[in-house]
C-alpha cells in the first residue's frame, strides 16, 4: 500500500464503485462529481493514474481500471470494511460511528495488518452495513491445513481440497462444493454440521472427516 497516496486510492476506489453501476467507461465528470472535485482536477489525477498503468484513459470516452488498479481498489474497499467490522465487533463502536474512522484507517493500514485483522475475525463475509468484504487475500499470512478431525466448532475454514468421495456425497445432497465452511456443531457419533457462506447446512459423516482438507489462517 505504500506506493499509493491517499488521493490515488480514493480515485481508484471511486472509479471501481462507479464501474459497478455501468457496463462502459466511467466519465471523468462522474468521477469528479463522486469525489466532489473539479473536472480539471479529476482529469489531472486520472492522467497520473494512467501513467502508472493503473487505469485506461480515453479522451472523450472516460476511464476504466486496469488489473493493478482494480486490485488496489479492491484492497482499499476490503480495508475499509474490515476496519468497520473490527470497530463494531471488537472496539464497541456503534454502526453509525464507524464510517469516518474507517475512512482514515483504510489508508494508513498495510496489507499485512488488514489481512491479520480479517483472519483474526474469522473472515467475515460482510461489514456491519451488510456490504460484502472482498475475500481475496492481499498478503500471504501463515496457513495451517488439516482435516475435519482437528477442526473446531465456531471456526470458519477455507476448503483446501476434497476427495472424490466427499464431492460425490455433496452431489447427492445437491450441494455445490463450498469455498468456506463454518462448523456449527458435532453430533454424538462424531459427524459434524457445517454451514456454508450462503447459509446452506449439511451433515458431514464422521467417516468422511479425513476427506475434507481445511485451511486455517493463523494470527
What cell numbers appear for 52 in the block?
502508472
Find out whether 15 and 30 touch, Cβ atoms under 8 Å. no
Question: Could you read off the pLDDT of 34-47 as tens digits, one per residue?
Answer: 999 999 999 999 99
pTM of the model: 0.70
Question: In the CATH hierarchy, which fold is given to the domain comprising 6-65?
Answer: Arc Repressor Mutant, subunit A (1.10.10)
Question: What's the CATH superfamily of 143-217?
Answer: Ferrous iron transport protein A (FeoA) (2.30.30.90)
Q: Where exactly are the structural domains of the chain?
A: 6-65, 143-217
Which H/E stretch holds residue 85?
A: helix 67-89
What cell numbers appear for 6 in the block?
491517499
d(CA 133, CA 18): 17
CA dist list (Å): 128 to 105, 123, 131: 16, 13, 7
Find out whether 1 and 38 touch, Cβ atoms under 8 Å. no
CA angle, 143 then 148 then 154, to 5°: 80
Confidence of residue 218 (pLDDT cuts 50, 70, 90): low
The SS3 call for residue 217 is strand
Backbone angles phi, psi at 2, to 5 degrees: -65, -25
Question: Could you read off the pLDDT of 185-213 as tens digits, one per residue?
Answer: 999 999 999 999 889 999 999 999 999 99
Amino acid at each position: 500500500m505504500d506506493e499509493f497516496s491517499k488521493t490515488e486510492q480514493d480515485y481508484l476506489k471511486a472509479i471501481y464503485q462507479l464501474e459497478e453501476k455501468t457496463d462502459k467507461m466511467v466519465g471523468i465528470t462522474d468521477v469528479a462529481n463522486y469525489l466532489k472535485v473539479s473536472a480539471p482536477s479529476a482529469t489531472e489525477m486520472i492522467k497520473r493514474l494512467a501513467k502508472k498503468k493503473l487505469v485506461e484513459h480515453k479522451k472523450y470516452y472516460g476511464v476504466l481500471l486496469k488489473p493493478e488498479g482494480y486490485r488496489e481498489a479492491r484492497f482499499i474497499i476490503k480495508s475499509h470494511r474490515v476496519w468497520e467490522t473490527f470497530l463494531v465487533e471488537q472496539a464497541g463502536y456503534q454502526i453509525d460511528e464507524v464510517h469516518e474512522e474507517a475512512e482514515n484507517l483504510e489508508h494508513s493500514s498495510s496489507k499485512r495488518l488488514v489481512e491479520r485483522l480479517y483472519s483474526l475475525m474469522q473472515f467475515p463475509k460482510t461489514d456491519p452495513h451488510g456490504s460484502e468484504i472482498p475475500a481475496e487475500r492481499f498478503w500471504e499470512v501463515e496457513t495451517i491445513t488439516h482435516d475435519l478431525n482437528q477442526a473446531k466448532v465456531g471456526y470458519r475454514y477455507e476448503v483446501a481440497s476434497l476427495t472424490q468421495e466427499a464431492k460425490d456425497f455433496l452431489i447427492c445432497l445437491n450441494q455445490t462444493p463450498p469455498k468456506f465452511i463454518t462448523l456449527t456443531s458435532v453430533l454424538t457419533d462424531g459427524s459434524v454440521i457445517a454451514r456454508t457462506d450462503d447459509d446452506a447446512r449439511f451433515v458431514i459423516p464422521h467417516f468422511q472427516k479425513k476427506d475434507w482438507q481445511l485451511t486455517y489462517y493463523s494470527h
